[in-house]
Amino acid sequence: MNYKDLNFKIPRQSSDYDKCSSFVVTSIEAIIKDAIKSGNNKIIINTNLRLGLPMENINKIAGPFVEAWAYERFCCVKEDLNNKYSLINVEAKERLYMADVILQFKRKRRVESSISAEVDVKATAEDIASSGKSPNITSFARIRTAYIEDPDYIFIILSLKHKVYSKRNKRTRLMDGVMEVVGYNAYDLKYIASSDFTFNPALGSGQLQIRDIHYVDIEERTAWKFCQLLDRKYLNSKKRTLKDWLALAKSNEWIKVDE
């Protein structure tokens, strides 16, 4: 059996998907930019450690703090019902979900009046070159299925760059850790250039990884072309075969199967 001979379920996205994706990316980046500009980009970590936070390992604990900060920023924006970003709903997701938060924006469309986007927050250290550089994104099977179930699915990678320093608290005389978000980039996963992400077959159905989250090129493509690209990444792996792919395709209903 040949891959090209299969009877695929082909996702067909809305004609305004590109505009919706661009609107979401621009809005998210504007929210983070304004938080940094206004000085609302600091996370204060109080400890009883007299020498402050263990700076050589700070990247290992930064992720949850930065994710919580991003969620809080989005919630603060949503509380203003007339906010300039048109953000109308924010929902945090459980730990094993693909994304960290779901955002909903008000935007007039031909059929709907809002846009939903799932956002995966990735933290990278400004002063540690390899920290968070090549993050795992999500499993191959889950993300491919998402675009079959919803051809207009928007999955955003939000890369937040941070730096950490300590300063002495005048009242307690202990060291306060300050984690400061200093940079950002948001990408629609579907538009990340083929050369910028890889397939790691080591976990489950395989994990998508970004080669270098600091340097990402964009290639616009349809949901169907992205599904085909994912399939190529999977099938080009030495540890995966067409038989393995077919098992996933049947269980996740990516293809039409004759009864």
Mean pLDDT, rounded, for 109-135: 78
Does position 240 have pLDDT exceeding 90, yes or no? no
Mean pLDDT, rounded, for 47-74: 82
CA 112 to chain centre: 24
Q: Is 34 exposed, middle or buried (0-12, 13-18, 19+ CB in 10 A)?
A: middle
Per-residue pLDDT at 214: 84
The whole-angstrom separation of Cα 84 and Cα 34 is 11
174 or 89: whose pLDDT is higher? Answer: 89
Model confidence at 107, in pLDDT bands (50, 70, 90)?
confident
Q: Where are the domains of the chain?
A: 14-252
Per-residue pLDDT at 39: 94
Q: How far is CA 150 from CA 18, 50, 224, 250, in A?
A: 15, 52, 11, 18
> Model's pTM, two decimal places?
0.91
Average pLDDT, the chain: 89
240 or 83: whose pLDDT is higher? Answer: 83
Per-residue pLDDT at 165: 81
Per-residue pLDDT at 132: 53
